[in-house]
Amino acid sequence: MVAAPVAAAAIASNGTTAPHGAGRFCLITRRATFCASHRYWLPELSAADNEARFGRCSGSPGHGHNYELVVTMAGPLDANGMVLNLSEVKHHIRRQVTEPLDFSFLNTTWPQLASKLPCTEWLCHCIWQR
């Protein structure tokens, strides 16, 4: 977790800094990792065309990667000095992303990934939707 302040602390009407930095704008970043495999294969193409387009990435049964998900949230600090509850964010990332994807075959894990090429860009889009 990294917190990076990006604006000056809020100043109360009496000229003093607000308690716990309330009102100050911060970025909060959480990182999570997972391992998954995939195969670049478009069923509408022949085996030769898939091989020509995707090379070794089209080979069966696929290949794996170690992924790192970096999620950054932004907002003002509340009266307690928090942008949001990081434990809730951690649990949401675990439930929605790392648990279903860790040690999975991406082509069949989520319906959105089964219908498209499971490239990094599409994987990011699918994660963003969750």
Residue 47 has pLDDT above 70, yes or no: yes
Phi and psi at residue 55, in whole multiples of 5°? 60, -140
Q: Is the pLDDT of residue 45 over 50?
A: yes
CA distance 77 to 23: 5
Q: How many structural domains compose the chain?
A: 1
CA-closest candidate to residue 1, choices 90, 81, 79? 90
> How many Å apart are CA 67 and CA 37, to the nearest integer?
10
- What are the start-end ranges of the H helices in the chain? 47-54, 86-93, 99-101, 106-109, 111-114, 120-129
- pLDDT for res 8: 36
What CATH number is given to the structural domain containing 108?
3.30.479.10
Task: Give residue-wise pLDDT tens across range 55-111.
Answer: 999 999 999 999 999 999 999 998 888 888 889 999 999 999 999 999 999 999 999
Q: Which residue range forms the structural domain that includes residue 91?
A: 2-129
The answer, yes or no, to whether residue 48 has pLDDT greater than 60, is: yes
